[in-house]
């Protein structure tokens, strides 16, 4: 049986691999690390990169926290136990160049074991938020995720792709945050038909899908030139990212409500975001095309 220490150790290693790989890809930016401890128990390694060649602001965070759950979270989870353990790696990257997409990844493990009762699950996902949707990149991104999913279970990609469409949705705008990806939660042997070892392997597999896939998207787009108007569009798209994270994102809510480390939780917010009243893209533009593609149920592959 896997232990929480094993999961935390594997996640730390994935954090290390990703930070090293992103620094190499960026060529200039370096991660700065902040070690923190949580009053209720546990802590984390927040790693932030800023003002790189490609990466304007990003975080690759590891945390492993434990303690008592606040009542509102217990209610939301439908559990009565108090003692929890949660570990995960969370990534959000905001690139400089509007042709390079925003990316988010999270892999996490949660457990609550008291006496005979045992509750544990894996969750996570990767989703992509292009400022401009590029069809081939969207296809490549989704194929990468499908390849990882298919190694474990045939229904994972379609299930988790739909879950991402539903989760990364800005209800008040009636638009998806980006082109989706995969999202999954509460994976256990009952919900997957896999063993705990296999689910753990899947979680690590998702974590290791991130680097080669995102560095390829960086390589494809980093040298593309852009206009001030395209930069302005990037700032506007980022404002939608802010809206999603502050209004809907469960991880952000969980962090804010459990008195998490604020700067680690809100590292997902962009360096600059602009709100323009009632902006409507011109017909026939790249901006209009992108907006038209921010909807659920598109088969990107």
Question: What is the binding site for its own copies (CB under 8 A)?
Answer: 34, 48, 50, 57, 59, 171-173, 235, 239, 242-243, 246-247, 256, 262-263, 265-267, 269-278
Shortest distance (Å) from residue 259 CB to its own copies: 8
What tokens does 19 get?
A: 């930070």
CA distance 114 to 242: 37
Are residues 209 and 126 in contact, defined by beta-carbon separation less than 8 angstroms? yes
* CB nearer to its own copies: pick between 111 and 287: 287
* CB nearer to its own copies: pick between 194 and 256: 256
217 φ, ψ (degrees, to nearest 5): -65, -35
223 φ, ψ (degrees, to nearest 5): -95, 0
Catalytic residue among 94, 104, 131, 142: 104
* CB nearer to its own copies: pick between 138 and 294: 294
Handedness of CA 59, 138, 291, 286 (dihedral sign): positive
Shortest distance (Å) from residue 115 CB to its own copies: 34
Neighbours of 243 (CB within 10 A): 16
CA distance 129 to 212: 17
Shortest distance (Å) from residue 31 CB to its own copies: 11
113 φ, ψ (degrees, to nearest 5): -125, 125
What tokens does 222 get?
A: 């980093």
* CB nearer to its own copies: pick between 45 and 142: 45
Shortest distance (Å) from residue 12 CB to its own copies: 21
Mark whether 172 is an active-site residue: no
- Catalytic site residues? 104
């Amino acid at each position: 049986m896997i232990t929480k220490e094993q999961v935390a150790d594997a996640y730390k290693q994935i954090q290390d691999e990703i930070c090293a790989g992103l620094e190499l890809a960026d060529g200039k930016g370096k991660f700065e690390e902040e070690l923190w401890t949580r009053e209720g128990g546990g802590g984390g390694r927040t790693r932030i990169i800023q003002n790189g060649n490609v990466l304007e602001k990003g975080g690759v965070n590891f945390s492993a926290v434990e303690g008592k759950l606040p009542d509102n979270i217990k209610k939301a989870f439908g559990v009565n136990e108090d003692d929890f353990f949660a570990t995960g790696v969370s990534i959000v990257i905001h690139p400089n160049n509007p042709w390079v997409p925003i990316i988010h990844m999270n892999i996490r493990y949660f457990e609550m074991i008291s006496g005979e009762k045992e509750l544990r699950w894996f969750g996570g996902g990767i989703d992509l938020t292009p400022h401009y949707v590029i069809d081939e990149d969207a296809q490549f991104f989704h194929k990468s995720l499908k390849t990882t999913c298919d190694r474990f279970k045939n229904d994972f990609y379609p299930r988790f792709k739909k879950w991402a469409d539903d989760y990364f949705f800005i209800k008040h705008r009636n638009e998806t945050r980006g082109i989706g990806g995969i999202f999954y939660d509460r994976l256990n042997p009952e919900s997957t038909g896999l063993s705990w070892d296999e689910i753990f392997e899947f979680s690590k597999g998702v974590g290791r899908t991130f680097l080669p896939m995102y560095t390829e998207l960086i390589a494809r787009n980093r040298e593309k030139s852009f206009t001030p108007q395209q930069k302005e569009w990037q700032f506007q798209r980022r404002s939608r990212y802010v809206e999603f994270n502050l209004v809907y994102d469960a991880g952000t809510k969980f962090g804010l409500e459990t008195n998490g480390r604020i700067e680690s939780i809100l590292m997902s917010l962009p360096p600059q975001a602009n709100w323009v009243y009632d902006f409507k893209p011109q017909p026939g533009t790249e901006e209009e095309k992108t907006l038209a593609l921010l909807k659920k149920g598109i088969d990107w592959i």
